[in-house]
A and B are shown apart, each in its own frame.
Chain A
Amino acid sequence: GESVGLHLPTLSVQEGDNSIINCAYSNSASDYFIWYKQESGKGPQFIIDIRSNMDKRQGQRVTVLLNKTVKHLSLQIAATQPGDSAVYFCAESKAAGNKLTFGGGTRVLVKP
């Protein structure tokens, strides 16, 4: 069935270092992948998305990598800041705008 899972439930990172959050997905029919950040008491906040016809996409301090061969998605955060402390979710769908299937989330803790 469809499932999206995360390798690491908690990631501790030193302020200024780079963070890498990983995600595995199982539905080979998925065409759209997205990362959300969720801070305590708030809803998921869009970070970056990527379609299956790409393997890399960059935003401001963030990069998403997609490896369709092994069904793996990652989010890289450059120069991690205290404000990056949050839970990060990957999600996938057959197309943007279709229902999203979320992963379980990874908590990122930034140490000063």
Chain B
Amino acid sequence: EPEVTQTPSHQVTQMGQEVILRCVPISNHLYFYWYRQILGQKVEFLVSFYNNEISEKSEIFDDQFSVERPDGSNFTLKIRSTKLEDSAMYFCASTGQGNSPLHFGNGTRLTVT
């Protein structure tokens, strides 16, 4: 069964550094998402992306965050200057149709020190 793949599985970075989290959505999917889950808390929506532009974003997704689909297969989340509170699991998700369930990757654990 096709899967959403995320790399790296664990990223450690120092506060103030830039990080790029990478995702390869399922190949024929058109809608892409990033969610995050701070340890012990709920999964939270960050951003949705369709047709090469952001379709919706949450209050969490401020100017420090950006997303990009640099080619036909990758979908990236960039955090320009990481803060301690950015430490979380970041999940990428995709779906083929706008009215279908989201399929999630296994996440990238980001640790900001």
Contacts and interface: CB of A to CB of B under 8 A. Distances in A.
Give the interface size bracket for B toward A: 20 to 34
Contacts of A98: 48, 56
Interface size class of A (residues with CB under 8 A): 20 to 34
B58 interface: yes
B58 A99 contact: yes
A99 B48 contact: yes
Nearest to B30: A97
B51 interface: no
**Main SS class of interface, A:** loop
Nearest to A102: B43
Contacts, number: 58
Given A97-B98, A99-B58, A46 B103 contact: yes
A42 B106 contact: yes
Interface of B: 4, 6, 31, 33, 35, 41-45, 48, 56, 58, 91, 93, 95, 97-107
Given A96-B100, A104-B42, 15 more contacts: A41-B106, A42-B106, A43-B4, A43-B6, A43-B91, A43-B104, A44-B43, A44-B91, A46-B102, A46-B103, A96-B98, A97-B98, A100-B43, A100-B45, A101-B45
